[in-house]
Amino acid sequence: MTARVTRTQVGIIGAGPAGLLLGQLLARSGVDAVVLENRSREYVEARQRAGVLEHDVASLLRELGLADRMDTEGIEHGGIYLQFDGERHHIDFHDLAGRSVWVWAQTEVVKDLVAARLAAGLALEFEVSGTAVHDLTADEPRMTYRSADGEQRELVCDVIAGCDGFHGPSRAAVPAGLLTVSERVYPFAWLGVLADVAPSTDELIYAHHPDGFALHSVRTPEVSRLYVQVRPEEDIADWSDERIWAALQTRLGLPGWTLHEGPIREKGITPMRSFVAAPMRHGRLFLAGDAAHIVPPTGAKGLNLAAADVVVLAQALVAWLVDGDERLADSYSDTCLRRVWRATHFSWWMTSMLHTPPGQDPFDARLQLAQLRHVTSSRPAATDLALRYTGQPLP
Residues lying near ligand APR in the complex (CB under 6 A) are found at 13-19, 36-39, 44, 49-50, 106, 128, 131, 163-165, 168-169, 289-291, 302-303, 306
The upper half-sphere exposure of residue 374, i.e. CA atoms within 13 Å in the direction of its Cβ, equals: 11
* Least separation in angstroms between CB 44 and ligand APR: 5
Inter-helix orientation angle 302-321/55-63, to 10°: 50
* Least separation in angstroms between CB 302 and ligand APR: 3
Q: Which does 134 bind (CB under 5 to 8 A by kind): ligand APR, ligand PHB, none?
A: none
- The burial class, CB within 10 Å (0-12 / 13-18 / 19+), for 380 is exposed
CA 292 to chain centre: 12
Active-site positions read 77, 206, 297, 301, 389
**Cβ within 8 Å of residue 43, ≥6 positions away:** none
Nearest partner of 244 among 267, 260, 221, 222, judged by Cα: 267
Q: Which does 51 bind (CB under 5 to 8 A by kind): ligand PHB, ligand APR, none?
A: ligand PHB
Distance CA 394, CA 62 (A): 14
DSSP one-letter string for 159-210: EEEE---TTSHHHHTSPTTS-EEEEEEEEEEEEEEEESS--S-SS-EEE--T
* Least separation in angstroms between CB 299 and ligand PHB: 6
Point out which residues bind ligand PHB (CB under 6 A). 50-52, 204, 217, 225, 297-298, 300
Q: What are phi and psi of 16, to 5 degrees?
A: -90, -170
Nearest residue (CB) to ligand APR, 62 versus 273:
273
Q: Which does 391 bind (CB under 5 to 8 A by kind): ligand PHB, ligand APR, none?
A: none
Note whether 230 and 307 are within 8 A (CB).
Answer: no
Nearest residue (CB) to ligand PHB, 51 versus 162:
51
Nearest residue (CB) to ligand APR, 161 versus 372:
161
Nearest residue (CB) to ligand APR, 18 versus 228:
18
Q: Which does 18 bind (CB under 5 to 8 A by kind): ligand APR, ligand PHB, none?
A: ligand APR
Nearest residue (CB) to ligand APR, 261 versus 309:
309
Nearest partner of 319 among 26, 22, 101, 13, judged by Cα: 26
Q: Which does 106 bind (CB under 5 to 8 A by kind): ligand APR, ligand PHB, none?
A: ligand APR
Note whether 84 and 369 are within 8 A (CB).
Answer: yes
Nearest residue (CB) to ligand APR, 143 versus 264:
143
Partner residues linked to 233 by β-bridges: none
* Least separation in angstroms between CB 367 and ligand APR: 28
Q: Which does 23 bind (CB under 5 to 8 A by kind): ligand PHB, ligand APR, none?
A: none
Distance CA 36, CA 58 (A): 25
The upper half-sphere exposure of residue 267, i.e. CA atoms within 13 Å in the direction of its Cβ, equals: 21
Q: What are phi and psi of 274, to 5 degrees?
A: -110, 140
Nearest residue (CB) to ligand APR, 50 versus 159:
50
Nearest partner of 5 among 157, 148, 155, judged by Cα: 155
- The burial class, CB within 10 Å (0-12 / 13-18 / 19+), for 279 is middle
Q: Which does 78 bind (CB under 5 to 8 A by kind): ligand APR, ligand PHB, none?
A: none
